Amino acid sequence: MISVVLGTRPEIVKMAPIIKELKKRDIDYFVIHTGQHYSYNLDKVFFENFDLEKPRYNLEVGSGTHGKQTGEILKRIERVLIDEKPEIVLVEGDTNTVLASALAASKLHIKVGHVEAGLRSFWKWMPEEINRVLTDHISDLLFAPTEIARNNLLNEGIREGVYVVGNTIVDSLKLKKIEKIEKDFILLTLHREENADNPEKLKSIIKGTEMISEYFDTPVIYPIHPRTKKNLKKFGIEINEKFIKLVDPLNYFKFLSYLKSCKFVLTDSGGVQEEACILKIPCITLRDNTERPETINIGANILAGNNPKKILESAVKMSKANKKWENPYGEDVGKKIVDIVQASR
């Protein structure tokens, strides 16, 4: 039996191809949802979008500090794993769900498979960096998306059980047709703790975004994240809606329609960097580092940080980008991962 653990919407998106492949092959599996991402009710639409069955377990952990959330997941998932006794636990990415689930499974001598292993920003201030490093070091099967990720693992002494398979986001983007929106706009996503919780950084990024809108004479559409919305009000930062048009959060495939249709995207999301690269949309990353260096190496992405002038300069540069880069993330990734999992049992 295989257990697939999810906790956030990006994890649902990236694990969907694996879940579908497990079901297709009639492999015994079950899904645990930790409830890390705000509310399980808000996540239901993601299961519906991908035609996935309801998880067998919902741990209803909810939000909280990193320690509280990680501890609650560890405590609650341990009980499930003891009762169900799966042969392997599959986790994806770098969330508190990933670390807690991998730790619980490892201490119960259950194999851990880490999907998207080997990503590194080399910046330990980032909570996700700690999660991904620790998870990699206690995993038995490490599914690296690229050779760069594999080399990161090798450099840390991890050599056993490492497989370069690509990134399941490639499969996810093929599950439904992505419609184009016929209007001219720039897209913004902004939610990471390092930006949304820092008033100076947040103010600078908003200013840089408004400068871009004015320079290109093009509106910026921002599906505003609840965390950022709350902090804009808390910090007294006003958005000039002449330049930035705020809209409610979008479901996944609606968001992809916006991404596929925009002139370029401004983001601090790791997943959006990948999705933009695959859809051949120039990306300006509002951070000083990235765990997706492949996107920069092929000219699909640029690091702009939070300085308004640099953000504008980066946007001007990427607006002229040659979109003929090749997708660095492979294909049929879900099938490759399930092949390896089956062979390891």
- For residues 15 and 338, what is the distance between their CA atoms, to the nearest angstrom? 11
Q: How far is CA 47 from CA 50, 103, 170, 180, in A?
A: 5, 26, 18, 23
- For residues 345 and 338, what is the distance between their CA atoms, to the nearest angstrom? 11
191 counts as catalytic:
yes
Beta strand ranges found along 98-213 (DSSP E): 111-115, 141-144, 162-164, 186-189
Q: What three-state secondary structure class fits 57? A: strand
Q: Which of 33, 37, 114, 191 is catalytic?
A: 191
Contact present, 143 and 337 (Cβ < 8 Å):
yes
Q: Identify which of 173, 37, 50 has the alpha carbon closest to the alpha carbon of residue 93.
A: 37
Q: How far is CA 108 from CA 57, 74, 87, 103, in A?
A: 19, 12, 11, 9
Residue 289 φ then ψ, to 5°: -150, 165
Residues 6 or more apart whose CB falls under 8 angstroms from that of 125 comprise 194
Burial label, 197 (beta-carbon count in 10 A; 0-12, 13-18, 19+) = middle
- For residues 280 and 259, what is the distance between their CA atoms, to the nearest angstrom? 10
Written as six digits, the tokens of 301 are 């992405």
Q: Identify which of 270, 187, 176, 196 has the alpha carbon closest to the alpha carbon of residue 221.
A: 187
What is the separation of C-alpha 209 from the centre of its chain, rounded to a whole number of angstroms? 22
Q: Identify which of 251, 258, 250, 297 has the alpha carbon closest to the alpha carbon of residue 275.
A: 258
- For residues 155 and 108, what is the distance between their CA atoms, to the nearest angstrom? 27
Q: What are the catalytic residues?
A: 191
